[in-house]
Amino acid sequence: MKVVVRLYLFLRDVLGSKEVALELPEGSSVSELLQIMREQYGLPDRISTGYGNLILIENDQPTGLIVLVGGRNIKKLQGMATVLEDGSVITLFPPAAGG
């Protein structure tokens, strides 16, 4: 099955793209997707900033990373066990700060 991962803010710079298309086995979960993104595309677990380390993923859980599947936060679905479908759009973005 094919899914699309959309990246926002500094994740675009880190991974060198604003979007990644992936071919995954049927029944793959968000957990499996993030593992592939970490291993094959260089999605970092933490990023150094001018204010210290920003932890995105800790103990294989998105700590400082917002993950949406079809526009819905995985926290409102089945979390990391959320099963992806063919054509799913997964959005990844770090927490934003502004003022």
Residue 98 lies in a domain: no
CATH number at residue 39: 3.10.20.30
Distance between CA atoms of residues 29 and 18, nearest Å = 21
The domain total for the chain is 1
Residue 64 lies in a domain: yes
Structural domain including 70 reads 2-93
SS3 62: strand
The answer to whether residues 25 and 83 touch, using CB atoms and an 8 Å cutoff, is: no
The model carries a pTM of 0.89
Q: What is the pLDDT of residues 56-91, one digit of tens each?
A: 898 888 988 999 999 999 999 999 999 999 999 999
Residue 57 lies in a domain: yes
